[in-house]
Structure 1
Amino acid sequence: MTIEGELVLELPHPPSVVLAAASPHLFWKITLLLIAWLNLHYHLPHLTCTLILKITRHILIGLTVLAPDEKVAGSLNTVFNHLEIKDNFDIHPVCPICHHVYPHNSQGDAKCLNCSEPLFEPSASRTKPRPHLQCPQNPLSNAILHLLSHAGIEEELDAWHCHVPEPGKHALIQDGELFFDNSPERPDKDELCIGITLGFDGYCSSSAMLYSLLIVDLRFGYQYQPRNLMVFGITPGPKEFDSDELQFFMKNYVDNLISLYENGIMAKTPNYPNGMSSIRMILVAICCDNPVLCKVCGFGGHRKEEGFCTRCHIKRSELKTRDAMDYDKFPPQYGEEHTKRAQEYLDLDEKEHEAFFKLHSALYFELSRLKYFDPVCMSVIDPMHSFLLGESTCSLCCHYSHQLLVSNDGMLSFRSSFYLICPFDQFEMPNWVGCLPEQVGYPAGGSLTSDEWKGLALVFCPIVIPFLWQEWYPKANTTYEKALTSWENRERQRLIRLTTGKPKKGDDKPSMKPVPQMHPSAPDNFLKLAAALKIILGRSFKDADIPRAKELLRNYLMEYLELYSDNVKPMHHWVTHIFDQLQDYGPVYNFWTFLFERLNKVFKSYSTNNHSNSEIEVMFMRAFQKDVALCDMVRDILCIGSDPHSSFSLRI
């Protein structure tokens, strides 16, 4: 429909309307949902679904629940049709050579405009041939309409207006300095602005990349509900796109963002049955690990001598210096300058790209077309990867867990003593704290998740490590002194043999000098990190806490550089910029990638059904949308008679 010349979009039917139209009988509604759920999660064959539907129909007729002449679903496809579960995304053909992405309605004989490669497989039996390579994309306007179809979501998107900020305290992303203006005093109060953060990460062995969005307007409890998770698209495998190829995939996304920011859309919603004035969307931040962030925003990457940091002009050769472990010691990068370099890169001939990138460490990126986007301030190296899978891993795994639990050079006896001193299973922890596997440090214990690393760094190890050092440091130091004395004797004998002209095989090189396995200051160094993380990773923080956190983190990094200079990584410098990000976006809970990683885990739970090439990405997108629709309908049935905003409904 149109209002005063403006196109007003219709929302999809909400779950309650879909279920009411599917059947008037509660038992049959549950049967439809059960069949669809079993097929999606347990791969129930189509014929088996048909058989169950027929048997259940006859049972319900015998119980007089269904009338004999009543028409009901008799096959799996009919079940999906009755539940209005269908593909709500576009499938775009992708050139298998240069990876340019083409419109979803391309003709079957279309060829790549760049390399003249056919986009579709030749087929005489299909109405439309299958693309050689394809990627699913869900337009943002379509995702917004499905989001707004849920009861109460409009109020939730605007609920943060009631938030009264406490001076000097940061609890929500709205308390940060870079959040967009959606205040009640805005000119058009009926305009709804939706802020999103972008996450981009690999999720399966085919090197496909999942492009997901987090709605920052919503409260934490609502953000993690499946129906509020937004997936724009999935890049096809089997090889991961490089930075230039990734921009072809992102073009449609940026086109959507520009349209939704400048023009917006109008839609009929429960609060505005005649059409609301406008719905707009804005990108607040990009948050992912460094390699992907550099691809998305055109930075050089951690291997480059120039520009390996996205925030300042530090050189790679300066990494193992005290300035690199401190704050504001290098000239800052500026978003305008980087965007200008990106445009210069685009204007060059393709043969000149490599030399330009080597000189300036800048590539073209599609997000530079957003007028409000600052690639330096709005690009965040994920704190989860930096601290929980970076700093904590280096401090614990490489220097505590590795030396005490894994090494085979005389320290193997420490492994069992680690549990005798303070067994992890004797800790009593709340349900919301990540539980550790029984055999931490053993291969059988498996790798730790971010939640488990967080619990290890903030709870378990601050208690265990001091006792461990108190018990074992004297013995480790005795072992080290004996090994050092033995090495000195061997070296003395080697030099004597070389002097007398009677060398043995291998005397041309000195043997490896033993190093201490336990440093006396290591526990204090780790406790500084744990104390800093207690503030940095908090759900909220006060401005008065930041100087203490900066001091703790600086002291930790400086001591780490002295103790383990050979193990200093780029992320040891990147974390020095975390306080700028906290100032811009508030607590890390507002922008780190826990939600995106949770979404990756959901995708990995779907079966590939022996699909190959780019069919697997389409199948994953289809399964996810089915999963969200089914969860929403199950929630609607379970919440019958209860408040949809109650704690019970939120848990569902």
Structure 2
Amino acid sequence: MLNLDWFQPYDGVIHSTGVIYAAICNLPRDMRFKRENMLVLGLLPGPNEVSLHQINHYLAPIVNELVLLWDGVTFDNTFEKICGHISALSSCYRCEKKANYENHKYNFAGMDNMSEWFINRNSAQFCENALGWRRCNSNAARNRFVKTTGVRWSELLRLPYFDPIQFLSIDPMHCLFLGIAKWIVKRIWVDENILKPETLKEIQKKMNQFQVPADIGRIPGKVECGEGFANFTADQWRIFFNIYATVSLWKHLPGVDKKILTRFVRICSILVGRIVQSNLMDEAHQKLVEIVKIIEQNYGRDMITLNLHLSLHLYECAKDFGPLYAFWCFSFERMNGMLGKMLTSKNILFLLKLILNSIPLFIF
């Protein structure tokens, strides 16, 4: 499992540092994301994020090593931009859905004809188009080719087993919690004045009455701050909807929004489980479809965001990779925080030790 993530290692300075991580999916889930078992394959020093196909320069040496591993390696005693897709803001990675450009912005509305576009993209056609991109002899030709096909070349396509459609998972942390949960509360209920400032104070007061086990994580305590629900982390959004949302929000929401709330709470309760059943995943998928339809019908096409669309593919990802907790990005975000804190003189030796323990490693 590969993940490219960017973070800001310095305070008060705009400087993006990138890290290419790998997790070994053959390890049990309780061991897979431990610090000592995660691989740091590459550090991209910045100060800016690389763009478009330039990521291939960083992927090439990593892919060379992966090809050797695929062919077989004998050891003696001495010894998800990155896949070639264009921006998801204009076209879905996994299905045939294209974004609508309306009112000067993109949306993914169109649930009435879902059967026409909710079809898996063709991996063979994608690879053929990627090779076509490589044959372009100028940047202008490549740009025209991308506008036509929506595909670029990726070094990962040199791996004989790599499927650029199926192997590209949707991260539940960003999609479900930072994407949909945050968006529903802040963009619909707070910005549309359904939850007013005085209402937020009542919600906070109600939440303060909860008695919850200490091991569930940090309890959200910022509901009434600023514009409402200020600076909630992904984990706090997860906790909020799984524990607090139904009781604290119910009397403040109109009928349509109660439908959104009950469905989303049920979705979260199913998807965050460590053991999932096929019939429950079917239920979660159906309720996600219902939420998107309710929002489109009651709040307009402009409100159907990329994350709402991508959530429709979480069911497929769960079938391919297991329960959502087995491939969400919480562990990679934790590694970002650890690496950021290590960029000081007293920790630099520990950072070097961590890097040297990750083989292969490439610093660009």
Q: TM-score, normalised by structure 2?
A: 0.86
User: Is 1:348 the counterpart of 2:136 in the alignment?
Assistant: yes
Equivalent residue in structure 2 for 1:461, among 239, 242, 245? 245
What SS does structure 1 have at the residue aligned with 2:40? strand
Equivalent residue in structure 2 for 1:552, among 287, 301, 304? 287
User: Is 1:201 the counterpart of 2:5 in the alignment?
Assistant: yes
Q: In structure 2, do the counterparts of structure 1 residues 235 and 323 end up closer, same or farther at CA, with 3 Å as the change threshold?
A: farther
Match of 1:568 in 2: 304
Q: In structure 2, do the counterparts of structure 1 residues 365 and 621 end up closer, same or farther at CA, with 3 Å as the change threshold?
A: farther
Of all paired residues, the percent bearing the same amino acid is 22
Residue by residue over 1:118-140, the C-alpha shift from the partner in whole angstroms, topping out at 9 and shown as x without a partner, is xxxxxxxxxxxxxxxxxxxxxxx
Check conservation: 1:227, 1:629, Cα contact below 8 A: no
Distance 2:252 2:4 in 1: 40
In structure 1, give the amino acid aligned to 2:136. L
Match of 2:263 in 1: 528
Equivalent residue in structure 1 for 2:88, among 299, 302, 308? 302
Match of 1:419 in 2: 204
Residue by residue over 1:179-237, the C-alpha shift from the partner in whole angstroms, topping out at 9 and shown as x without a partner, is xxxxxxxxxxxxxxxxxx11111011422211111122223332343221210111121
What SS does structure 1 have at the residue aligned with 2:143? helix
What SS does structure 2 have at the residue aligned with 1:521? helix
Match of 1:265 in 2: 74
What is the CA-CA distance between 1:629 and the residue it aligns to? 9.2
What SS does structure 2 have at the residue aligned with 1:381? coil
Name the Cα RMSD after superposition.
2.7
Distance 1:328 1:234 in 2: 42
Match of 1:399 in 2: 188
What SS does structure 1 have at the residue aligned with 2:145? helix
Distance 1:530 1:327 in 2: 26
What is the CA-CA distance between 1:571 and the residue it aligns to? 1.6
Aligned residues: 343
What SS does structure 1 have at the residue aligned with 2:4? strand
Check conservation: 1:227, 1:628, Cα contact below 8 A: no
Distance 2:204 2:233 in 1: 20
Check conservation: 2:203, 2:223, Cα contact below 8 A: no
In structure 1, give the amino acid aligned to 2:152. L
Check conservation: 2:173, 2:330, Cα contact below 8 A: yes
Equivalent residue in structure 2 for 1:365, among 136, 139, 154? 154
Q: In structure 2, do the counterparts of structure 1 residues 524 and 301 end up closer, same or farther at CA, with 3 Å as the change threshold?
A: same
Check conservation: 1:603, 1:620, Cα contact below 8 A: no
In structure 1, give the amino acid aligned to 2:3. G
Check conservation: 1:323, 1:329, Cα contact below 8 A: no
What SS does structure 1 have at the residue aligned with 2:169? strand
What is the CA-CA distance between 1:577 and the residue it aligns to? 1.2
Report 1:623-638 matches (<5 A). Answer: 623-626=350-353
Residue by residue over 1:294-328, the C-alpha shift from the partner in whole angstroms, topping out at 9 and shown as x without a partner, is x1111121343xxx10111222127222247x567
Match of 1:339 in 2: 127
Q: In structure 2, do the counterparts of structure 1 residues 605 and 443 end up closer, same or farther at CA, with 3 Å as the change threshold?
A: farther
Residue by residue over 1:335-381, the C-alpha shift from the partner in whole angstroms, topping out at 9 and shown as x without a partner, is 12111111111121023111111111111100000011000000112
Check conservation: 2:274, 2:323, Cα contact below 8 A: yes
Distance 2:344 2:129 in 1: 41
Check conservation: 1:536, 1:588, Cα contact below 8 A: yes
What is the CA-CA distance between 1:607 and the residue it aligns to? 3.6
In structure 1, give the amino acid aligned to 2:130. A
What SS does structure 2 have at the residue aligned with 1:268? coil
Report 1:94-173 matches (<5 A). Answer: none
In structure 2, give the amino acid aligned to 1:581. C
The one of the two structures with greater contact order (alpha-carbon pairs below 8 A, sep at least 6) is 2
Match of 2:52 in 1: 243
Equivalent residue in structure 2 for 1:213, among 2, 7, 22? 22
Q: TM-score, normalised by structure 1?
A: 0.49
Match of 2:342 in 1: 606
Match of 2:104 in 1: none
Equivalent residue in structure 1 for 2:325, among 552, 570, 589? 589
Check conservation: 1:395, 1:526, Cα contact below 8 A: no
What SS does structure 2 have at the residue aligned with 1:248? helix
Equivalent residue in structure 2 for 1:435, among 211, 218, 221? 218
Distance 1:545 1:439 in 2: 32
5+ residue gaps, structure 2: 9-13, 101-106, 358-364
5+ residue gaps, structure 1: 1-196, 270-274, 276-287, 289-294, 470-518, 610-618, 631-652
What is the CA-CA distance between 1:267 and the residue it aligns to? 3.8
